[in-house]
Structure 1
Amino acid sequence: MTIVYLKEKFPPPPFDEEVQQIHYFRDLYDGNHENIFPRAQELAKETQVTRFIRKPRKAYLRKAVEKTAQHHYVIVNFSSVIAELPADLINRSLGNISADTETDKQLLEFVQQVAKASKINQNIWAAVVQHQVDGGVAYRIRRDMKGTWFEWKPADLYYEHDDDLGADIPWVEERGDEKFLRVERQRLEGDKLTIQQLVFKMDGETVKEEMDIQEYAQQFSVEVPEDQELAGITELMCGYIPNDETLLNPRGRSGLRNIDVIQEEINWTITRDSIVFEKHGKPKLAIPRALWDSVANKNKTYYGDRFVRHADLEVVSYDEKNGAVPMYITWDAKTEQSFDHVQRLIDYMLVISKTSAQAVGVNTDQGGRSAIAILYEWIQSVIKAEAIKDKFNNAIKEAIRKCIILENALGSTAFKDVDPVVEWADMLPKADSEKDEEEIKKFEGGVQSLETTIRNLHPDWSEEAITAEIDKILEHQAVDGLTPVITQPPKTSIGDDE
């Protein structure tokens, strides 16, 4: 039922293999390819610079002086683009979040407070990227001095129980030379929810023994929430959003799967070209044999050895009879096939990851295009992002609804636990003229009200400004509708005409 940590390595089975995959794809996304690709590791053995390139600048320069790099492993990391593009589109389209009510002012204010404390708009990009890289992302409801809110958690810090009645949120804390495993365990027991705080001592990667949570809090002066029993709550105050889940992979799969080998081949092809250019691309000075012998013999006389320095050739004489002069030899490289190979690999990677080439800036043409034309070029990426957006839309609604439930249980409120309203805009930008034309056509076609049209045309206007604009338009229409023709009333008869 629950997860066993004692005498086990962390993370515990059956999550250990999944966490290894998560760390693999994180290295792929972050560009730490020397950690995962064999050819990058082999090339890194020639120099230690690659391992220090992401360290602070002074450390990198110091290491570079100690051992100069002969060759550098070149990373063109399309994996990061594939993971970040859906996050860019979803981040742009997320709009206002409010309660699904127009009369309950307290509920409206509470939902606004939850959205503000949770920093939903600020954190949605990071959550979507982590969702794509790890294959899922979790959230946890919290109530503290900030109020009631929720936070996103990585997939490797959320372990559901096998009976679907609980979940653990574990994390490792380092206190000096010691390591401790903290766990927040949520369990449903009948008609109540229990939230328990646990702590374990660790020896390396192994969980050694459990210790008292209050003793831990006093020893290291940390605040630990008290254990809670919440009667009447029949759902967990946490949740999980899988990516591309299947029946065999219910916790989801990374959005970077199946492209790692292609990414490694792209890196290696570009690195190989770089090595060839380094070896043969520099111009080489060629001098006649007689000139070389003349300079070398002089150095033999002066220094006791035959050699030619670059400085010796800055000013030289040449054979006027034969016209023998120094010359530079340059290498005319033919690399078109190599570049074509890289382009094919990039195309394969984009197809496998369901990413539009135009969306990542390749295979683009010049010239202005309408929003509709751009949409069709980006359609594959937009469809992918729309599916991810639907999952986050449901997750945000569910998280805020659970915040309402928790507030009702711990506070003095009696809010109606309903899903909030999450507004989403178009993922792709439109020119103002094109957007205005679409809104006017909807209004003239009778499928959209005047008020909605003005709201869509001016989303930043206040309610007073929208109302004033509606009155002006209706007044103008009324004036235009007046006719100068005076229509006489029908004749009537008064009295009896007998």
Structure 2
Amino acid sequence: MMLYYRLLYEGEHAEIFPRARSVVTEKRYVHRRVGVRSWRKVEKVFSADHQYIVANFSSLVAEVPADLLNRSLGNISADTEEGPELEFVSLVVTASKPNEKIWAAVTQHQVDGRVAYRIRRNEAGAVWFEWILGDHYLPHDDGHGADVVWFEEWGNENRKDRFLRVERQRLEAEGLTIQQLVFKMDGDNVGDQLEIDQYASDYELDIPEDVELTGVNELLCGMVTNDEMLTYPRGRSALRNIDGLQEEINWTITRDSIVFDKHGKPKLAIPRALWDTVASQNQRDYGGRFVRNADLEVVSYDDKTGAVPMYITWDAKTQQSFEHVTRLIKYMLAISKTSPQAAGLEEGKGESGVALLYLWIQSVIKAEAIKDKFDAAIKAAIRKCMILENAISGQSLQITDPVVEWGELLPKANSEKDTEEIEKYAGGVQSLETTVRRMHPDWSEEAIMAEIQKIQDEQTADSMSPTFTQPPRVNLGGS
């Protein structure tokens, strides 16, 4: 089903919907020249893929939460003001690029029903985490391990050898063991296991050695599921239950398109006598009775009957079809918990941030739930990076979750946002540093600290009133 939902998201609906195949090809009769003065009527099969119209609202369902979380994810830092933890988390964030990759991760999470991550470390000592496809992450049934799998192909265009790579992590009594395995693929079947050292030598690969991390009591990988249930512990796609509606939307639009294509173009109607005249001339010239469009560019006028060519147009009534498509789209959005404003079916602008929130409330509630899962996943991934660094490099980093800052899911006017931040600071529920950071999220650390110092200096200067703050009196006279 994962491949099915990926095709649904990508808009490759002609491959998964049965009614699309009925308009894939069509037969037409054309006249083909077989000699200098000879024509023959033949049957020709045309590709009609362009006639199947895809109005892919499935992609909208998956991308709206990704858009909201992408603009919401802010700064990621260690839960400390100074120390090696702060520097290490900064390096991990720089190498992992979570802000750049969150959109892709959330979209894949919605399409596949899950997305996974794993921790990496290279020979130079850089540590980072990366998102991987959900079907590349296979947890063990006993809950004490997981396999991260992927395929590798080597060879030329004429022949390619395919291999299954496996990174196996298992929690044992002493700690975590990580093994590198490789299997030869026989078509779609997994074949014999190969020696990993020989495989690396044959294809000049740099494969890490097997390692046992003593004292590590959690896997260095994980998974984020979507709408999981007891019967579906690995999550479910956000596109489930809407594929039938998507097909009906496509088919209704396609059916109208075919009707317009066949009947919407003006048809030229000519008198019977004129048709016979042109066909007879073609019979004499080419040996067949037919009439081409080019034959009618210059025609004679019938003085007796006044018969002249005329165009016939067909007026189609499409209002009901459009209303049907609109209803189907609204059903799809309701099932997938997507606001109609996201699809442009209703006005999506509000006079204030609160008004905008209520217009987009369905999508916001859905995105908030997804945000909580990715918040936990990002924190867990960076914490696992710290665990790996301690286990391999011998450092003694304090293992704690980092601080992940999330902004508003929906945009607000700068004036409204600044007013809210100032009120929080004035009410004593928010620090000056947090206020400056939120009002200027694109500033550097140096600029933020400089701004804080300026504000504190001005506040100190304003608090010194010459009326109440006087120098001490001194008696200069003698007795």
Measured against the shorter chain, the TM-score band is 0.7 to 0.9
In the alignment, is the contact (CA less than 8 A) between 2:25 and 2:45 conserved in 1?
no
Alignment of 1:18-37 (within 5 A): 21-37=1-17
- The runs of 5 or more residues in structure 1 that have no matched partner are 1-20, 48-65, 490-498
The AA in structure 2 aligned to 1:79 is: S
Query: Partner residue of 1:385?
Result: 367
| Equivalent in 134, 153, 172 of residue 174 of structure 1 | 153
Post-superposition offset of 1:68? 3.8
State the distance in 1 between where 2:104 and 2:468 align. Answer: 64
State the distance in 1 between where 2:273 and 2:6 align. Answer: 60
| Equivalent in 468, 481, 490 of residue 454 of structure 2 | 468
Aligned CA RMSD, in angstroms, stands at 2.3
| Count of matched residue pairs | 445
State the distance in 2 between where 1:454 and 1:116 align. Answer: 22
Query: Partner residue of 1:50?
Result: none
State the distance in 2 between where 1:346 and 1:217 align. Answer: 52
Query: Partner residue of 2:463?
Result: 478
In the alignment, is the contact (CA less than 8 A) between 1:455 and 1:466 conserved in 2?
no
In the alignment, is the contact (CA less than 8 A) between 1:286 and 1:327 conserved in 2?
yes
Query: Partner residue of 2:60?
Result: 81
Q: Measured at CA, do residues 46 and 140 of structure 1 come closer, stay the same or move farther in structure 2, by a change above 3 Å?
A: farther
In the alignment, is the contact (CA less than 8 A) between 2:26 and 2:46 conserved in 1?
no
In the alignment, is the contact (CA less than 8 A) between 2:164 and 2:190 conserved in 1?
yes
Between Structure 1 and Structure 2, the one with more strand by share is 2
Alignment of 1:144-155 (within 5 A): 144-145=122-123, 147-155=126-134
In the alignment, is the contact (CA less than 8 A) between 1:140 and 1:151 conserved in 2?
yes
The AA in structure 1 aligned to 2:448 is: S
In the alignment, is the contact (CA less than 8 A) between 1:451 and 1:470 conserved in 2?
no
Query: Partner residue of 2:41?
Result: none
The AA in structure 1 aligned to 2:81 is: E
State the distance in 2 between where 1:313 and 1:100 align. Answer: 82
Structure 1 residue 430 and structure 2 residue 415: aligned?
A: no
- The runs of 5 or more residues in structure 2 that have no matched partner are 28-43, 474-479
| Equivalent in 379, 387, 392 of residue 397 of structure 1 | 379
Cα deviation, 1:190-248, whole Å, max 9, x if unaligned, reads: 13111111111121111121111111111111111100111111111111111100111
Q: Measured at CA, do residues 46 and 157 of structure 1 come closer, stay the same or move farther in structure 2, by a change above 3 Å?
A: farther
State the distance in 1 between where 2:313 and 2:174 align. Answer: 81
Cα deviation, 1:163-209, whole Å, max 9, x if unaligned, reads: 10111111121122221111111111113111111111121111121
Query: Partner residue of 2:338?
Result: 355
Post-superposition offset of 1:274? 1.1
Q: Measured at CA, do residues 424 and 70 of structure 1 come closer, stay the same or move farther in structure 2, by a change above 3 Å?
A: closer
SS at match of 2:47: coil
Cα deviation, 1:123-167, whole Å, max 9, x if unaligned, reads: 111111111111111111111136111111111111111110111
Q: Measured at CA, do residues 101 and 245 of structure 1 come closer, stay the same or move farther in structure 2, by a change above 3 Å?
A: same
| Equivalent in 11, 21, 44 of residue 41 of structure 1 | 21
Post-superposition offset of 1:441? 3.3
Cα deviation, 1:252-303, whole Å, max 9, x if unaligned, reads: 0011110111111111111111111111111101122233233334444444
Alignment of 1:198-277 (within 5 A): 198-277=181-260
Q: Measured at CA, do residues 445 and 225 of structure 1 come closer, stay the same or move farther in structure 2, by a change above 3 Å?
A: closer
TM-score (norm 2): 0.87
TM-score (norm 1): 0.84
Percent of aligned positions with the same letter in both sequences? Answer: 62
SS at match of 2:190: strand
Larger mean CA deviation between 132-141 and 322-331 belongs to 322-331
Larger mean CA deviation between 444-453 and 381-390 belongs to 444-453
Cα deviation, 1:89-119, whole Å, max 9, x if unaligned, reads: 1111111111111131x21111111111112
In the alignment, is the contact (CA less than 8 A) between 2:92 and 2:382 conserved in 1?
yes
In the alignment, is the contact (CA less than 8 A) between 2:23 and 2:48 conserved in 1?
no
The AA in structure 1 aligned to 2:6 is: R
